Amino acid sequence: MNGEAHDVRTLPDGFTSLQDISPDGKEVLAMIGPNGLVSIPLDTADQYTNSKATVIVKDGYPNGGFSPDGRWIVYGIPEADGGVYVQPFPGPRLRTQIGAPDGFPVWRKDGKEILIGGNGGIWSVTVQKAGSEVRFGAPEKLFSGLRFPHGVNASSHPLEVSRDGSRIYFVQAVEQPPDSNLINILSGWQHN
């Protein structure tokens, strides 16, 4: 792919990390320091105009992403009183809690499931659509025994899932033997 890189948008002061880009490419979800999660439009005439950011979550260090159709946002608030939530986009309607705190959510690309990595395992929340109605199932633990690697924080994305949900990818810490200078390398990484 040949091309030239160019600026699309100047992000607000306090920008911490890019979380996701909407499926239509018109919005960016960004974490703004400890001030929460915002949506910022990309399709304005002047890239340097500070168009109004829509606040999704007002405080904390939430991590999140868009649903495959761009009509919902899923996000986790890692603080002790947080949780994993979904809410309509662009809103404004109430959010619904679908998981416990300490989770990194990702929406499966076919829209049928949300996976949450956290609390030592992977949890599944089914998504059922009936017309304009969307229902979320109770979280079910798929498996446990996962360890986050050092350095994972709210702006990290340690979990990903294939389009059909047949493969789950998770960045995991490897337990090292005591007094070892070993370096582990994983090869054959595949992503659907």
Per-residue pLDDT tens for 142-178? 988 877 666 665 556 677 888 788 888 877 666 666 6
Please report which confidence band the pLDDT of residue 130 belongs to, taking 50, 70 and 90 as the band edges: confident
Q: Any idea which of 4-13, 34-43, 45-54 has the lowest mean pLDDT?
A: 45-54
Region 4-11: mean pLDDT is 65
What's residue 22's pLDDT?
A: 92
Q: pLDDT per residue over 59-102, tens digit each?
A: 677 788 999 999 999 988 877 677 899 999 887 678 889 988 77
For residues 16 and 32, the answer to whether their CB atoms sit within 8 Å is: yes
40 pLDDT above the threshold of 80 = yes
The whole-model pTM stands at 0.76
What's residue 192's pLDDT?
A: 42
- The percentage of the chain sitting over the pLDDT mark of 70, rounded to a whole number, equals 68
Which residue ranges form the domains of the chain, and what is each CATH number? 15-170 (2.130.10.10)
Give the amino acid at 104: F
Beta strands in 27-71 (DSSP E): 27-32, 37-41, 54-57, 63-66
State how far the Cα of 2 lies from the Cα of 177, in Å rounded to an integer: 45
What's residue 11's pLDDT?
A: 63
Total Cβ atoms within 10 A of residue 115: 24
